[in-house]
Each structure stands twice: as C-alpha cells, then as structure tokens.
A and B are shown apart, each in its own frame.
Chain A
Amino acid sequence: MALASRYRDEGADELVFYDITASPEGRSVDRSWVRRVARVLDIPFCVAGGIRSVADAEEVLNAGAEKVSINSPALADPALIEALSGRFGSQCVVVGIDSRLTDDGYRAFQFTGDPARTRESGRDVLAWVREVQERGAGEIVLNCMGSDGVRRGYDIEQLRAVREICDVPLIASGGAGAIEHFTAVFDQAGADAALAASVFHTGAIAIPHLKRALRAAGIEVRP
C-alpha cells in the first residue's frame, strides 16, 4: 500500500501488481487488497496472479483493477484469452510471457513465481506471441528471464524480434538497472512501455529523475 501511494505521487504511469506465487500455489490474487489499492490509485492499475476464469477476472476488475494480466493460466488454457477479451474487451486483457533463450530458441516458461515449479511450457515464444494476439490479447508484457533481476539492461535483441510481430502494445520487462537501459528499450527495441520493479522499489532510480532524463533524450513521456 505504501509503495502504491509512493509510485502514484512520484508520477508512475501505471502500476502492475503481480502476485507471482498465486499460480504455483493454486491460489488467486486477494480481491480485498486490489480494492484497497484501487481506492487510492489514480493511474492505471493492472493485476496478475492466478486469474483462471472469467469469474476470477470479473471479481478483480470489479474490485477496481483496469486490466488483468494472465500468464501461466493462459499457457494452461489458451481459450481463456478469447473468453476474457470477448467479455471485457481486449484492452482489459494483458498476456504476460516469461521467456528464456534455450537450445530450441526463445521458449515460454510457466509457474516462474516458484523456482521449484518453474517449467518450460513447450511453446515457442514467437509463435505464442502471434497466437495470443489472434486470441484477443490487448497488450503483451515480455519478461526476459535471462536479464531479469541482474540489472544489466533489457534484452533488446529479443524485444526487437517480438516487436516485429507484435501489433498490440509491447511492454518490456526484466533487466532495468540504469537510466540508459530505459532509453535503449524505447529507442532500440521500440517498446511501448518499460516495466521495472527492483530499481524503483529500492530507490536506485527515482521516477521523476528517470522521466526528466527520457524527455531530455527526446522520448515523449508524461511529465
């Protein structure tokens, strides 16, 4: 809650809440928590975590989220994407993809919230990106697992490959450690937005400072 208010006041453009252990634990994100955050938030709010049905999504949206993001549940039941976009419109439906380079190319991984249960889904990332768009995804968050948590920059090469085939908004995730990483992901990978967690949580990068630097680099952002 304190973080949500802080990001609102610092000028974050969207808040994404991932309950990353929900899917591996067979749970779904806590609705009352969503409601408490939505009450104080005046920026877009996307919620993820074990949303496995239209009923789950409806409860989360009714609690005040703008969008729901599905990752492991979409891999388990791709028709869920159609069901959600048919009911709520594709603008409500974000598909998160946890991707890592393997000997077979970029592959999508499931249950990444728990290292013990993380497994390769059997899906090629580029094919999955095409499929989720056909099924009605309104936004894709590509979390590049190879760069996630190490703060050495977004995976520009992989994001660029996905950008080529992605007609819906593409959000880059994984690897932000410095301001130039954000500049690069917009300039070189053509991402529509950049998601970061640890650098903001720890205060390593202050959002107002980041936004000033992006504007100075000629990237249009809300002040």
Chain B
Amino acid sequence: MTEAVIIDSGGANLASLQFALERLGARAIVTCDPRTIAAAARVVLPGVGSALDAMARLRRSGVAALLPTLRQPVLGICLGMQLLFESSAEGATQCLGLLPGTVQRLTAARGRPVPHMGWNSLTRLRPDPLLAGIEPGEYFYFVHGYAVPACEAAIAQVEYGQPLSAVVRRGNFWGTQFHPERSAAAGARLLGNFLQLCS
C-alpha cells in the first residue's frame, strides 16, 4: 500500500511536498485517480492556486465526491485546508463542507501586508497527535491571502490582526494553513506525525 498519496488538484508546486515526504522516508505518489486515492493509507490535499479552480478540478476528476467517504487520515495543506470548509470568499466557491466554517479574505493594514507571508508561531488550543513533540514557540511558514478565522475545528491558531485557524481537525480530516513542507524541522516533525496516523 502506498504510504501517502498527494492529490493532484491542478496547482503546480506539488514537488516540494513530495520531496518533503520522501525525506521522511515515505513513498508518496501524486495522482487524481479516485481509486488510487481510496486505496491509500493516507491522503494529502495540497493546493496552490484559486479555490474556484481547485474545486472545479476536484469535481471533474470525481475526487470531490470521494473525499467525504474517506476513513483514512486526510491532511489539507494551505488552500487544501480551506477546501475542507463549507465555502470560500475566493470566487464565492462552494467547498467540500467537511468542516464547519467559511474562508474569508484577509484585509491589509499597516504593518500587516496581504498576502500574509512569513514565519509565525502558533497558539495551541488542544493536544493532538499531529502536533506531538512540537514546542509552543516553534515557527511555521505561512503564505496565504485568505483564511479561516478562529473556529471550533481549530486545534492551533495564529495571530495576524485576528486569531486565524492554523491547524484544524474533525475526525480523520486535518488541515494546516501553513506549509509544513517548507517549515524546516518543525514542519518535518508535523509531517512525520501525519505519517504515523492510521485509519
């Protein structure tokens, strides 16, 4: 069985995620084939690009219909995390609706440019195996123009003018607004934790 599949949601930039999983010794393949995804031990939903574009591609490939039926651990990253929610202000997009909440546009302010781009530390809200061994002061790399404000699914938050959901979970669905594949040792730790999760 493949240890993890990376869903090809049409965005470019899947290589860095694949390389990060490979550095952890995992076999990871990139696919949009629903049968391969359904059979995987773990599923990663990445996403670079717009919500509208990504949802259209997931619907066309049948992956949007498949995702809610999955019982194995699923990790949405950045836009992939946002797609797990009900809808996004980006292109007024209906998303997967696996987590309650909506994605909103960040507004720029003095000293707080948008997109939010950079390294931030998290506020932990509840313990979770995905965050095992990650110290409170550790930094993760964020790059996003839209975000999910504080919500009930959040297990960690980041402060950017307001508290934003940084790590979320409901059942077997996890999500990170930051990019663990580009967050140095702390990100590798999180991905390593994900590879330990089982159905």
Q: A residues touching B (Cβ–Cβ < 8 Å)?
A: 8, 11, 13, 35, 38-39, 41-45, 57-58, 61-67, 86-92, 138-139, 166-170, 190, 192-193, 221-223
Contacts and interface: CB of A to CB of B under 8 A. Distances in A.
Interface string B88-128: 00000000000000000000100101110111000000000
A89 B113 contact: no
Contacts of B12: 57-58, 61-62, 88, 92
B164 to A, nearest CB: 15
Given A35-B15, A92-B13, A169 B115 contact: yes
A66 B13 contact: yes
Nearest to A44: B182
A62 B15 contact: yes
Contacts of B144: 91
B143 A43 contact: no
Contacts of B137: 223
Question: Range of interface residues on chain B?
Answer: 35 or more
Given A61-B13, A62-B14, A64-B16, A42 B181 contact: yes
Nearest to B15: A64
CB-based closest 3 A-B pairs:
A61-B12, A64-B15, A222-B139
Nearest to B50: A89
A74 to B, nearest CB: 18
A62 to B, nearest CB: 5
Contacts of B139: 222-223
Q: Main secondary structure on chain B at its contact with chain A?
A: mixed
Contacts of B50: 86, 89
28 contacts: A8-B184, A13-B141, A38-B15, A38-B16, A42-B23, A42-B184, A43-B183, A45-B16, A58-B12, A61-B12, A61-B48, A62-B12, A62-B14, A64-B13, A64-B16, A64-B19, A65-B13, A66-B13, A67-B143, A88-B49, A89-B50, A91-B115, A92-B48, A166-B113, A168-B115, A192-B118, A193-B118, A222-B139
A90 B182 CA distance: 18
A88 B48 contact: yes
A90 B14 CA distance: 17
B66 to A, nearest CB: 24
B188 A42 contact: yes
A66 B118 contact: no
Interface string B165-185: 000000000000001011111
A66 B114 contact: no
A45 B184 CA distance: 12
Nearest to B90: A89
A27 B181 CA distance: 30
Nearest to B188: A42
B19 A167 contact: no
Contacts of B118: 13, 169, 192-193
